[in-house]
Amino acid sequence: MQQIPIEHILFVSTALFFIGMYGLFTRRNMITMLMSIELILNSVNINFVAFNKYLFPGKLDGIFFTIFIITVAAAEAAITIAIIINLYRTHKSIDVEDATELKY
Amino acid sequence: MFLPTLIFVPSLTALAVLVCKGLKQVRVVALAGSLVQLVLSLLLFVQYRQERNAGNDAQWLWEWDYTWFEPLHINFRVGVDGISIAMILLTAFVVAAGVLVSWTMEKLSKEFFFLLIFLGMGAYGFFISLDLFTLFFFLEVAVIPKFLLIGIWGSGKKEYSAMKLALMLMGGSALVLVGVLGIYFNSDIGNGQHSFDLVAIAQTGISPQAQNIFFPFAFAGFGIFTALFPFHTWVPDGHSSAPTAASMFLAGISMKLGGYGCLRVATYLMPEGAQTYAWIIILLATIAILYGAFATMMQTDLKYINAYSSVSHCGFVLLGIGMLTQISITGAVLQMVSHGLMTALFFAAIGMIYERTHTRMVAQLGGLLKVMPFISTVFVIAGLCSLGLPGLSGFVAEMTVFVGSWQNADTWYRVATILACASIVVTAVYILRATGKAIMGPMSNAYDNLADARWNEKLAAGILVIGILAMGIAPFWIQDLVKPGTESIVQRLLGF
Amino acid sequence: MADYSYIALVPLLPLATFVLLGLAGKNRLVKWSGYIGSATMLGSAVISLYAAYQYFFVNGKTGDAYAEITALRYTWLEFAPGLSIDMGIILDSISVMMLVVVSFISLMVHIYSVGYMKGEERVTTYFSFLSLFTFSMLALVVSSNIFQIYIFWELVGVSSYLLIGFYYQKPSAVAASKKAFIVTRFADLGFLVGILILAFYSGSFDIGTIINRATDSQSEAFTGLVSAGFLGMSALTWSLVLVFAGGAGKSAMFPLHIWLPDAMEGPTPVSALIHAATMVVAGVYLVARLFPVFYIDEIAMQVVTYVGAISALVAAIIACTQTDIKRILAYSTMSQIGYMMFALGVSGYGGEEGLGYTASMFHLFTHAFFKSLLFLGAGAIIHFVHSNEMKDMGGLRKWMPVTHITFLIACLAIAGVPPFAGFFSKEEILLAAYQSDKIVYGIGLFVAALTAFYMFRLYFSVFWKKEAADASHHGEGTWSMKLPLIVLAGCTVVVGFIHFGNYISSDGAPLPTHFDIRFSIAPVVSAVAGILLAAYLYKKESDRPAKFATALGRLYRAAYKKFYIDEIYLFITKKIIFNLIGAPAAWFDRNIVDGIMNLLASGTARTAALIKGMQSGRVQSYALYFFGGVVALAILLIYIWI
């Protein structure tokens, strides 16, 4: 079976990473920002799986890390959404520009 | 003697003060604690004499070692020699007098006395430490309370002064830390291991290159504490804003931490560095002595006068250390003790005058001898001690510094010595001007009903005057006390 | 060698009095303080007289010469082995003589003060200070160690300060006390540095050792002192000139004399004791003590001679124009001390050569009696008329007979009229000067005439001149004031006949007394001329003095203004030291040094203010910084470091 070259996969993951990064920097809505972060994390996941497959086929470390990241991402999403809900209660908004009290 | 007792007693006193209620309980506890400490210090002195007379010529007595942090070789190691005992005695005298002077401190009395005792504890710890890390630790312990003492109980532009003092002393501490770490990383106690242990480092020594790099850090760092020109400007502001007892502690104890550190850490551990930089020390010390004296002449506030004169007098300490002869270093130690007692007495007298007249401006005072003979006499005694009258401690200390400096046969060092000697004339000018205006002369009617010193003030002044007289009339005992300590330093200086 | 350790009691008794009265404070012992002080002084005086008798007549001699006996020595402060400050008692002919003078005059002054200070509020303090002074002075004269001299030198200075400022509410007294202390302190600086030089080369503070080592031309000390030099003078010359500067300050020699006239602000008995008889001659005593060392250095001897001669002349001229009786006496003291100084300066060492030394000590001895008598008499006069100014006096001989006679005796003595004490001692001084330096002799002779003139100007203005107002209700003074006058007057008549050379000479061996009637013609004639001129001008009230003054014109005004020396000092201190050194130093400290510190602090604060905008609170910008940082690090790691 013809293997997909690693460059293709890396291209996808890089694209995903920068899409996530773009979303994180430009979106004001916190839910959208959270989703962007998920994109970034998933781009990392793809990298892990791909490198594991292509560089160290006999090992499973990359796969494990992916599973770790998925777990952590789930927990993180839960906490973030809790924070967003709390922010909404106090600020009546989930726009990140409205929550800038924590400064100098 | 079990040396950590000297730390435990103040710590317990400080804790006990926190438990007390009201000024009356607090001050009694604080006084009791400081008197116990005074007795302990005197006992330490007596036992030291006994040990030495019994032929014990070990460099450090009553050593005690407790491992604090093994991987970095940080120990809580204590031990004393004559120099430390002289400093401990000074601290005990000043703390006791300071507590007595603050007898009527109504504002936040618990916190005030706690900080005083705590500061004293830091000083005791500093003077008995034989480990650079604990030494530095106690140095910091003695800095922090000063910030609060001035910031909360001070007068005038107290926030500014407190901040300035804390920042400059912290800067000094930072330099000290660099010096200490430099010593640590260049020490080698076998197998390439580093150590903070002062005794071990002294035995193995540090490479001359490292000494030349780190001596300035350590010396300047400690020098800031003892008003090294041009880092002395915290002295006038800090002293003048501080409450009386804090001024006494600041000038009587804190400034001595610096002198002791210069001697014990910088000069003792890095003798070659000391020789390399001796001329700079002497230059700065001479400037401080003369320039401090001339600047004092122009001051109009009693506290500023005493603070600037402290700059001048602490210059003698640095001069004595910089001259690197045994007599001059002995003189430096004597000057530390003498200046500590004298300036504490001076600040106490100024505080008493201020409390009654509500002014410290020389021009507004006058003829106080008439209504407050006791306080005025104390003021005059402190002034005469400051200008080096024989029979009082200042003379003994200054003359030892002069004679010792003169033994250093370099022509330019002699010129520096003569210039330093010249300051005794300027000292006489500013002391007599202040005395002539404030104590003598016609008295304003507004002061007719002022009362003389109360018992606690008399006792406080009495304690310090006894110290001054004991040193001034019979200097041989303190000379005998200090000499073995300075000899060990000079031997290291000559070893290279 | 006899045991003289009991001499320690001589200074210790006054010390005990000082401690007792000093601690007693203001209220207790007020009535008794004078008696306590006088009683202990009596003890001291008796002991020192006994010791003098023992020393001079019983067992002081070793062979032919008077020996130096160390009665006590106690190490006070040891700097290094051999280099220590010792507290000791040394007896030789001059220290025994000084012991007698100081304790005796002090006793007289104590007794006198009982009457004079009656009713003063701080009388206890007064007597305690007086005891402190006596203690210090006695301990000074018996010093065996040069640092011991310095210690008590400072202590007599401070007791003088305390006593001049005794009337502390009077601004002029405060100013005078300050001036006295600071001027002598300035001189002491020289003394101290001189000591340091001498002690460094001779390796000891002990006077005997210093003299032995420095005068032995084979010793290391001598070669060190002579070969080391600074600014073209040898270390020996420097050290001696500096030590002499200390002595000159204490002895009010020109140009360090400015404190002495002002010191008259103190109570008059104090002036008699400190500023006439004892403390001010300490400088002479110091030079005499170190005389063998001074003798080997010609420049130092020249300095001593000419400073002494100029002081004698300047003071005598100024004294002729002053109107305050105590100031006149002060200048006359200065002038007489100038005599003693130049007598030492022209003296040789040993045998006949040492005539000047003997003469100087002789004059010191006689001067102590008649000058304290003059001051005590002046005190009685001031007590009587309540003024120091001569214009308030006149015709007092009628109301103050005892004072008048004793004062006249003292005036004759100081003028050098035989057979009073001053005649003999001045005679010897002039003879010594004549033998070695004719210019100095000329000055001495002229000053002798001036002395006679101004003393009798004083005498006639006070006791004659005009008729005094009736003051019969006003007694002359209590017995305690009259007794010392009479005793001192008796001494003034007697002491001149002592053959001083038998007892005191530069090398201890007796020196035959020189008395040549032909030689004494010139001094006596000049003294009588001075007296006659004074009588012509001042015996009756007239306008002659005013005419005289106008004739002298500028010279008179300059002398009246004390040659503007005070003004020069004032200029130097106020204008130069305060304005050009003190004020800039204080300004520099507050603005430049502290300014740099403040700049450091404000610089830090300003930088913080500049960059604090980074902490905006916007999460997204933080993320951007973070990402930028990661990119930068990545570029660094990939392209630059690896």
ipTM rounded to 2 decimals? 0.90
Q: Does C585 touch chain B (CB under 8 A)?
A: yes
- A10-69 pLDDT, tens digit each: 999 999 999 999 999 888 899 999 999 999 999 999 999 999 988 888 888 889 999 999
Chains that touch B (3 or more CB pairs under 8 A): C
Q: Is C142 left (phi over 0), alpha (psi -120 to 50) or beta?
A: alpha
Average of pLDDT values for C15-25?
Answer: 83
Q: Do residues C248 and C283 lie in contact, with contact meaning Cβ atoms separated by under 8 Å? A: yes
CA distance linking residue B91 with residue B127, whole number of Å: 10
- Give the residue carrying structure tokens 């000055």: C443
Average pLDDT, chain A: 89
- C148-189 pLDDT, tens digit each: 999 999 999 999 998 888 888 888 888 888 888 988 888 999
Do the Cβ atoms of B441 and C147 come within 8 Å?
no
Chains that touch A (3 or more CB pairs under 8 A): C
CA-CA-CA-CA torsion sign (C114, C116, C119, C123):
negative
- Compute CA distances B415 → B163, B311, B409, B422, whole Å: 38, 20, 10, 11
Domain over A6-95 is classified CATH 3.40.640.10? no
Do the Cβ atoms of B442 and C77 come within 8 Å?
no
Q: Search chain B and give the residue with CA nearest C132.
A: B391
Q: How far is C594 from chain A (nearest CA, A)?
A: 30
> In the predicted model, is pLDDT for residue C475 greater than 70?
no
**The token pair that represents B176 in the structure block:** 């000290």
Q: What is the pLDDT of residue C1?
A: 53
Establish whether the linkage from the previous residue to C81 is cis, with ω within 30° of 0: no
CA distance linking residue B236 with residue C408, whole number of Å: 59
- Compute CA distances A33 → A19, B114, C617, whole Å: 11, 53, 16
Nearest-10 Cα torsion for C181, C186, C192, C197: -170
Q: Which of A31, A32, A35 is nearest to A83 (CA)?
A: A31
What is the distance between the terminal CA atoms of chain C, rounded to a whole angstrom? 95
Taking contacts as CB-CB distances below 8 angstroms, the residues of chain C near A103 are 615-617
pLDDT block averages, 10 residues each, chain B of length 496? 87 89 87 92 91 84 85 86 91 91 85 90 91 90 88 86 89 92 86 83 85 91 89 87 89 90 90 89 91 87 90 91 89 92 92 87 83 88 90 90 85 87 89 87 78 85 91 87 86 76
Q: Search chain C and give the residue with CA nearest A100.
A: C617
Run of H or E residues at C72: strand C69-80
CA distance linking residue B461 with residue B438, whole number of Å: 19
3-state secondary structure of A29: strand
3-state secondary structure of C267: coil
Taking contacts as CB-CB distances below 8 angstroms, the residues of chain B near C583 are 298
Do the Cβ atoms of C623 and A101 come within 8 Å?
no
Q: What is the pLDDT of residue C172?
A: 87
Residues 6+ apart with CB under 8 A from C409: C370, C373, C420, C489, C492, C493
Q: How far is C562 from chain B (nearest CA, A)?
A: 24
Higher pLDDT, C462 or B177: B177
- Compute CA distances C115 → C39, C109, C150, C160, C167, whole Å: 15, 10, 34, 21, 17
Ranking C91-105, C282-296, C528-542 by mean pLDDT, the lowest is C528-542
Confidence of residue C63 (pLDDT cuts 50, 70, 90): confident
**The token pair that represents B307 in the structure block:** 């603070």
Do the Cβ atoms of A104 and C620 come within 8 Å?
no
Q: What is the pLDDT of residue C25?
A: 64
What number of other Cβ atoms are within 10 A of residue B28's Cβ? 12
CB within 8 Å of chain B, chain C residues 220-259: 230
3-state secondary structure of A101: coil
- Compute CA distances B432 → B367, B392, B428, B444, whole Å: 14, 17, 6, 20
CA distance linking residue B297 with residue B431, whole number of Å: 8
Q: What is the pLDDT of residue C402?
A: 83
Average of pLDDT values for C339-355?
Answer: 82
- C414-442 pLDDT, tens digit each: 888 877 888 888 888 888 888 887 888 88
Interface test mutation site (partner C, options B296, B298, B427, max chain C beta carbons within 10 A) = B298
Do the Cβ atoms of C77 and B233 come within 8 Å?
no
SS3 content of chain B, % helix, strand, coil (to 5): 75, 5, 20
C75 bridge partner residues = C86
CB within 8 Å of chain A, chain C residues 613-632: 613, 615-620, 623-624, 627
CA distance linking residue C105 with residue C109, whole number of Å: 6
CA distance linking residue A47 with residue A54, whole number of Å: 10
> In the predicted model, is pLDDT for residue C494 greater than 80?
yes
Q: How far is A27 from chain C (nearest CA, A)?
A: 9
Do the Cβ atoms of C582 and B396 come within 8 Å?
no
Taking contacts as CB-CB distances below 8 angstroms, the residues of chain A near C624 are 25
Confidence of residue C632 (pLDDT cuts 50, 70, 90): very high
> In the predicted model, is pLDDT for residue C473 greater than 80?
no
Confidence of residue C514 (pLDDT cuts 50, 70, 90): low
- C239-269 pLDDT, tens digit each: 889 999 998 988 888 888 888 888 888 888 8
Taking contacts as CB-CB distances below 8 angstroms, the residues of chain C near A101 are 617
Taking contacts as CB-CB distances below 8 angstroms, the residues of chain C near B299 are 586
